[in-house]
Amino acid sequence: MRTWLSAILVVVSTAAFCGCRRDDNAEAQYLVIFHAGSLSVPLREVSVEFMKANPHITVRAEAAGSRDCARKISDLKKQCDVMASADYTVVENLLMPEHADFNIRLATNEMAIAYAEKSKHADTITSKNWTDILLADGVIFGRADPNRDPCGYRTVMTIQLAEKKLKRPGLAAEMLNKAGQQIRPKETDLLSLLEAGEIDYLFIYRSVARQHKLKTLLLSDEVNLKSPELADLYKTATVKVTGKTPGEFITKTGGPMVYSVTIPKGAPNRKAAEAYVAFLLSDKGKAIMEANGQPSRRPAVTDGFDNLPESLKEFCVNSKQPTTQQENAR
């Protein structure tokens, strides 16, 4: 198993690809990225490649649940140069238009269940009986907090969709209220518990399970939030989560998974941020994402297309002008 990333702050010494010649005398700069925990591995690799052009720029990458990342910007007034979310609607709901004026949908994923050799019933769990296994006496499973991380509310949606698929009223409530659960701010926080045998199963993104070489149960398309063709089915799953202000709640509606990236309005190092995002959307960035189990969307459908820097427009299409390559990503 690959060493799991336990720290919220992951500092990667890297440098930005600014589309310019190397300048060893350039003034040292920092590029700060807030990103979803599930992006830790691919963005670390992107950053390593990114630095080769300009070693005077250091990328500081902070991993957290996507909603926590957004609230650092909106509520805590922390500055960053790039924000990458596991759910494009986090940027849409919590940052636009006050804190960001464009949102690039760049990659996809799917829900899965990770486990270990020593997990209870590991030798009998399948895509057909996983709900019964997780409900079995003595089985402990982990999931992320829906109010802090998209993987958390997507887990709830996956369970709701399983109830519909199996035609078992009350299944979702039974699973979500089961004694023997571990809930953490983001799904990657649970990797150590799985490794230590303190939990048996973990709801997680398929890409993260692949990156950490975990035993993985793939779920049917009716419940894994992967397929654009099943968007109407996914919409039947809803989860209430906290909104922009204290005491406010919003309803998240199920949809095919889509990650996104933006540059906040107050980005201190905007030029380097634009170059970083351009690299992420380039063929090399796409190859890194896909090697880590996250298919890229090309071109990248973008909300606020008119506000994009010119250097990014070649990789994007306007969400208001759908093409045959766009999916219903809601």
What is the rounded CA–CA span in Å between residue 330 and residue 328? 6
Using one digit for the tens of pLDDT, what is the confidence trace for 4-58? 333 333 333 333 344 443 445 456 789 999 999 999 999 999 999 998 877 888 8
Instruction: Count Cβ atoms below 10 Å from residue 124 Cβ, excluding itself.
Output: 9
Measured torsion, CA atoms of residues 193, 132, 154, 277, in degrees rounded to the nearest 10: 60
Cis peptide preceding 55, ω within 30 of 0: no
Domains of the chain, each with CATH number or no CATH: 9-108+259-318 (3.40.190.10), 111-240 (3.40.190.10)
Query: Where does the pLDDT of residue 1 fall: very low under 50, low under 70, confident under 90, or very high at 90 and above?
Result: very low
Using one digit for the tens of pLDDT, what is the confidence trace for 229-249? 999 999 999 999 988 888 889
What is the rounded CA–CA span in Å between residue 186 and residue 190? 8
**137 Cβ contact list (under 8 Å, min separation 6):** none
The structure tokens 């039947």 sit at: 236
Residue with the bigger pLDDT between 9 and 259: it is 259
Contact present, 194 and 142 (Cβ < 8 Å): yes
Contact present, 41 and 211 (Cβ < 8 Å): yes
pLDDT recorded at residue 322: 56
pLDDT recorded at residue 65: 93
Q: Could you tell me what percent of the chain has a pLDDT over 70?
A: 89
pLDDT recorded at residue 253: 97
Nearest to 159 by CA among 170, 149, 150: 170
Q: What is the mean pLDDT of the chain?
A: 89
**45 Cβ contact list (under 8 Å, min separation 6):** 288, 292
3-state SS class at 247: coil
- CB crowding 150-170: b at 16 or more within 10 Å, else e: bbbbbbbbbbbbbbbeeeeee
- Lowest mean pLDDT across 80-89, 245-254, 321-330: 321-330
Q: Which two tokens stand for residue 181?
A: 């659960």
Nearest to 152 by CA among 115, 103, 189: 189
